[in-house]
Each structure stands twice: as structure tokens, then as C-alpha cells.
Amino acid sequence: MNQNDLFLIEGLKFQKGNKQAVQLIPQVNGLKMINTSDNSLILNIDFQDDGVLFDWSPYINKQGEDNLYFIIHFHGQLYKLFGTPIQLDSMQEFSAGKFIFKRNDIYTLDTINESMSTHQLSTIINRHNGKKYIEKRINQLDSQQISNSSITDYGCDGVPEEIRIIQLLNIQRCPYLMKIDQLTFDGECYSIIYQSSPQISLRQILKKYKNPPVSFIIEILEQLLLGIYIQNLVLNIFEELNIIHNGITLENICYSQEFNSIYLCNFSHSIFETQNRSQIKGNSIGFVPPEQYQMNSHISSQANIYQLGVLLYYMLFNENPFGKDQKKILQNNIAGKYQIPNTNQDKNIVDIMKSMLQKNPQKRKSCKEYLASKIFMPAYRSKISKHSFFSFFEDNFNKKIDEFEVGDDNNFVQTVKSLQINKGNKK
């Protein structure tokens, strides 16, 4: 028996003040609470159980005192779990980003960065450690109206789908994602509290370096393939569901100086694998997989591959594959038509791009197959260039950072109210 798993619990049909020894054993899908007297199961506490809420306020606000504990709200029952600071710190670290925490008062508002009907984005300060965090507070009612939750096979429950997806990814410790401090609920709204760190978007990078070395592109592509591949692994564990990010764009791929890596951000419009019954919302024109324009088509994680193909085209040729004006981009995006400029780009990486941009999702390869390409082999990279994207940015991130600043020129699908398209005659 691991002594660090031993806690004292108050609330199991005992008189107030009486406690019982229990084990809290971490599992793949949550925690098991075991009665130490007879090894019987008391509770299965699942990460994604709507009836579970962790409250760390009693511990956070009384650190340094005796009788430290946190609270588990479990389907209307309240349990106090007493332990040592080491035990409680370990349990809090294990639970963060996986279980939903009750929003506590340790955070104070610093700045409101963005306020919309669907969410509010703020900078907040933890008054205990003085660190700044980014909080995305989701307006449940309005966000449901423009989210994709109601059209996915996963179903529409009380927790926003964005929260569910982030939970799943954190459960598997998925890298290449913005670091989450907590997922919280305050009785009205759910929030995602991100760790704050300096970052720049891929669009900003390409604005400054319009023709990056191929070695840079290969490194970025490899990390993104690994990120998407790991996402698929996550969902194989959870009933083999697949995540569709639905926003793999220049704005949502960022470089973190702190971790010296590329990562995915903004899961606002992410969905689980679905049969397309209505227009999937949130994607940017020019990045939409063609199958998302077709009613009753099956939308799988191969949609991620298509978006990655568009990104790769951008990195190679510094433009959208489907044209320059929005009408042309939308027409060609729907048709899956694009042209490759006359170029001296490496044939192998161009072939990968063409494979990713296949209109038929079944003809696109898996992330695992792409990662087996020889372009990711060290010997092949060394022939192309000795430059390293990540070593370069580690050295140059803070130099003239203002040159990276660009406006937000997103054009989302749901903002296009009408557009006449001549479909032509079928042959």
C-alpha cells in the first residue's frame, strides 16, 4: 500500500468530526476511493463525470495550518479529504486540467482582454504566488448557439465540448498544447485558466520570414503531426472517438519561448467525429476540409490532415492554396482545387502536401504514415539545411518582437451570409 495514497475522509455516513482512512488511487479515467479496512470500493470518481467537482479552496486558503483538506462534491454528497501538504499538492497536480475545480477566490482580475457574447478573455493574478494567468470564461448559453456541440456524435451535455476535449488531452498529458492551470466552474460558467507565457503565431512568423528554410518547415510539420497523432491516441482510449481541431490555422499555431516549441491553441470550435448534419462552424475560409461543405458526409480526424496541408502550402509558398480574394478562395476551397506554383521546393515535402490536400479524406494518409517519411530522418534533414528552427527562435525570440505584430484578418465561415457559386454541369 502506497502511504501517499492514504487520506482521512469525513462525510461517509459518520457523525461530523469522525473520519475514516481511505486510499485515493489514480486511474486512467479518474480516481478509485478504497476502504482501507476491507479493501472494498467506495467510489469510482471519473474525470468526466458531470456530478463531480473538486474544491481546493479550504486547502489553498489555510496552507501552513493543521487539518488540511480539500472537498470532493460527488452527486450531491460532500466529502472532506484530509492529508499532508505533500499529499494534497500531489493530488492537486494530478487533478488539474482533468477534473473540474470549483472556481475559488485566489484569482483577482487584472485586465479584460476580450469580451464577446460567447466568452470573456481576461488576465488574472493568483494572489498567492503573484503569477499572471489567462482565463477564458465561457458563456454557456451563447457559446452553445454557435458551437458544434449539438451536431456531434458525442452529444450535448452540460459541459462545453471545448472543456471536454481539453480534459481528454490533459488526461493523456498531450504535448504541443497551451499549458492549462485549471478547468473551473463557478456555478454559472465554465472557465479555462491557462498559464501565461510569451508567444507568437505562425502567421506572425511567416510575416517576418516569408521564405523560411525547408528545415524550419519540416520541424514545424513534425511537431504538428506528433500533436495530432497523440490526440488520436487519446481518443482511442476513450471509445475510439476522434478529435477534429477545426481551427488548425496560422493564428492557432503558436511558438512558445518558455517551452521552445510549437503548439496548438484555441479549441473553441473543436468537435468530436461526427456525421455532418448541418454547417460545422468556426473554421476559417481557405482552411475548411471539402467534406465539411457536404451534407451528411462523415467528418473524421482526417479533417486535421487537410488543414495541416493548407498550413504546409502556406509555409512553402506564403499564400493560401485557393486564391487571393475571399470569393475565389471559398469557391476553390469547396471544390478542393488548387495549383502549385513553379518552384524549386523539395519534391518529397511537396508530395506530402499534395497527399494532405486530397479532396477525398480516405486518400489522405494517417499521421503515423506521414511521420515515417524520409524527410523527418536526421540524415535527410542535414542534407537540406543545418539551420534549426527551434534553436534559431530560442536565440532570437526577443529581438524586434514588435515586427511580428499583425492584425487579425480571420474570415470565418459563419460570417459569410450569402455567396452565389456556379456549380456547373455534372459530367
Q: Mind listing the pLDDT tens digit for each residue in 257-314?
A: 777 777 888 888 888 776 655 556 666 888 889 888 887 778 888 888 899 999 999 9
Three-state DSSP at 103 gives coil
Position 25 scores a pLDDT of 94
Query: Percent of the chain, pLDDT > 70?
Result: 77
> What CA–CA distance (Å, rounded) separates 182 from 185?
10
pLDDT single digits (tens) 238-272? 234 467 888 888 888 888 777 777 788 888 888 87
Assign 399 a pLDDT band (cuts: 50, 70, 90). Answer: low
Of 231 and 218, the structure prediction assigns the larger pLDDT to 218
Rg (C-alpha) for the chain, rounded Å, is 24
200-415 and 3-95 share a CATH fold? no
Give residue 17's Cα distance to chain centre: 42
Domain limits of the chain? Answer: 3-95, 107-195, 200-415
| CATH (one of 3.40.50.620, 3.40.30.10, 3.50.30.30, 1.10.510.10) for 200-415 | 1.10.510.10
Position 278 scores a pLDDT of 55
Q: Which long-range contacts (CB under 8 A, 24 or more apart) does 138-146 make?
A: 138/162, 138/163, 138/189, 138/190, 138/191, 138/192, 139/189, 140/188, 140/189, 140/190, 142/117, 142/118, 143/118, 143/119, 146/118, 146/281, 146/282, 146/414
Does residue 411 surpass a pLDDT of 50?
A: no
Assign 397 a pLDDT band (cuts: 50, 70, 90). Answer: low
Does residue 176 surpass a pLDDT of 80?
A: no
- CATH number belonging to domain 3-95: 2.30.29.30
- CATH number belonging to domain 107-195: 3.30.200.20
What are the CA-CA distances from residue 118 to residues 107, 135, 243, 324, 405 (Å)?
A: 21, 14, 21, 30, 25
Highest-confidence segment of 90-94, 252-256, 415-419? 90-94
Of 174 and 47, the structure prediction assigns the larger pLDDT to 47
First-residue to last-residue Cα distance in the chain: 71
Of 189 and 237, the structure prediction assigns the larger pLDDT to 189
Q: 305, 280 in Cβ contact below 8 A? A: no
pLDDT single digits (tens) 154-164? 333 578 888 98
**What is the mean pLDDT of the segment spanning 9-33?**
84
Does residue 88 surpass a pLDDT of 90?
A: yes
pLDDT single digits (tens) 129-142? 899 999 999 986 64
CA dihedral 192, 198, 261, 287 (to 10 degrees): 70
Query: How many other β-carbons are positioned within 10 Å of the β-carbon of residue 415?
Result: 9
Q: Is the pTM of this model over 0.85?
A: no
Q: 196, 133 in Cβ contact below 8 A? A: yes
**What is the mean pLDDT of the segment spanning 169-177?**
76
Mean pLDDT over each residue of the chain, to the nearest integer: 79
Q: 376, 359 in Cβ contact below 8 A? A: no
